[in-house]
Structure 1
Amino acid sequence: MSTMSLAASPRTARVAPAGAELAPLRLTRRGRMVVAVLVALVLGGVALLFANGATADVPEGARAVTVRTVGAGESLWAIASSVTAPGADVRDALREIADLNGLTGPTLAAGQQLVVPVLAAG
């Protein structure tokens, strides 16, 4: 068997003496293409992150609400009556106020703040 020597040729080895600077790196056409493709992939990934198509529309069936402070001697029924449209059932507004505020009973305290539905005009 013959023995082969694998030594780097002086033409391909780039060894710089101490203190000497190497020539600046130059990209070949193939190298520039690789860099361009990598940049395009990164930009495409970033675009996908921000292009989720989310909207801030109001859900169907949502109702406008306001915050109301309970006055001295004011009852839950009186508050529900004030936000109920003429001819509508006050009990529906009462249930909605209780649900919005997590109330388990009709007892209110003066100064308590309640989220109440806004009376629809018209």
Structure 2
Amino acid sequence: MGASVRFRPAAPLRLTRRGRVVIVCGVALVLLAGLWMGARHGARATSGGGEGESAVAGESVVVGPHDTLWGIAVRSRPGVDPRVTVQRMIDLNALPSAVVNPGQKIYIPAR
């Protein structure tokens, strides 16, 4: 019972060329995915009311109790196809859908 067991130190980890390529490609893929998601998020973000906003947004309205984007589009841009105006409002305000809530401030696209 007094026998002692000696362990050899493990050999240092060595990567083959293929292993290094796999690791570099994996890290590059993760970085590219992160950059893509960041760029996508930045492209959808709206400004907080700065100077550049006036070039894109003509005016803003506060959504009433029974307002819809369609109704706002018809009232604000008569003579323009409401489908186009609704899509432009969705894009301009970075809305996930065409659903709006009373009290919400919506920017109307410039003509």
Normalized per residue, which structure has more helix?
2
TM-score class, shorter-chain normalisation, is: 0.3 to 0.5
| Bigger relative contact order, structure 1 or 2 (CA pairs below 8 A, ≥6 apart) | 2
TM-score (norm 1): 0.42
Q: Provide TM-score, normalisation by structure 2.
A: 0.46
